[in-house]
Every structure is written in structure tokens, then in C-alpha cells.
Amino acid sequence: MDKLIAEEGLRRLAPEGGQLYAVMRHVSRSGLTRHVSIIGFSKEGMPYQLSGYISEYLGMTMTMPDGYPALKVSGCGFDAADHILRWLGGKLYGNDEALSYHWL
């Protein structure tokens, strides 16, 4: 997948003002590294995984800590999903508050 395909997929599946969901897949023993999946739901209620698109578009490392794609976030003292989605919204739409989320 290239960055343009990832951008097109994200614009379609994570529209500005859209609601996404975060799942914490793994936290390192030290607490300094987290692995977070970002998912959305179709109008029919079917989940879809966005971590691959986000990884490609933002240049983040993607992992599979429990068999599901997740984004690796390093550091502490901040909300990992908020960090990912503000970065994504800012780059994709020029507005770091373009996407909202809830933890599952």
C-alpha cells in the first residue's frame, strides 16, 4: 500500500467529524510503549480496522501484539489514541480536532 491509497481510504472511512474507537492491545511492562488499534463501524454496525491505513499515512510502526493490527506509541503522560487521532486529523484535514474517539 502506498501513502496515496492510505489517504484515500482514510478520507472515505474516517470522514471529518467522524467517530472512531480505540482499543488498547498491549502496554509494555515499563508503561512507556503502548499498542493501540483504531477502528470504525459501518452504518450497518460492522467494524473495520484503520490501523494499517494510519500506519502507512503517518509513518507509524504497526504491530500485531495479540493477532490484531495496532499502532506502536512510545512515551508516557499522554493519551495514546488522542495523540494518534489529533496527528491524523491535523495532517488529513488541517484540523487536529477533526476526528473524535472513544476507548473500547
**71: CB partners within 8 A, 6+ apart:** 35, 36, 37, 38, 51, 54, 55, 60, 61, 62, 63, 84
pLDDT tens sequence across 30-55:
989 999 999 999 889 999 999 999 99
* pLDDT of 43: 85
* pLDDT of 92: 97
Neighbours of 29 (CB within 10 A): 6
For the chain, give the number of residues: 104
Whether pLDDT at 76 is above 90: no
Predicted TM-score of the model (pTM): 0.92
For the chain, what is the domain count?
1
HSE of 44, CA atoms in CB hemisphere, 13 A: 2
| Domain around 90 | 3-103
Three cell numbers at 55?
500506519
